Amino acid sequence: MNQESGFKRRIYEIVKKIPRGSFLTYKEVAKLAGRPRAWRAVGNILNKNDNPEIPCHRVIRSDGKIGGYNKGFKKKIAILKKEGIIVKTSKILNPLNCGAIARSKASGL
């Protein structure tokens, strides 16, 4: 397995552990995957993912904005709201509690 596919697999493992109603930032996922400066790579990898078992919608930008999603921006907002995350004008309004829960789950890898 090459280094890039190992990184991709690690990203998917981390994102799969983000609980419903929680999220991580692209930077947090990159750090947990062992490449803290590779947050753009995380975004690119997740944007190309078609596997519904990987909840890519639970990864957001570090400024609290929603970020991209391969099924569309509006769909990502709708899914996050359905999971109980408060979103207003494309920004997460309850970032502290949701991020902390996800970090504790994902860091257990």
Residue 45 burial (CB count, 10 A):
22
Round to whole Å and give the CA distance between 82 and 63: 21
Rg of the chain taking only CA atoms, in angstroms: 13
Among the listed residues 18, 56, 98, 102, the single catalytic one is 56
Phi-psi map region of 19: left, alpha, beta (phi>0 left; psi -120 to 50 alpha): beta
56 annotated active-site: yes
Check the CA dihedral 78-94-67-19 and report its sign.
negative
Give me the active site residues, please.
56
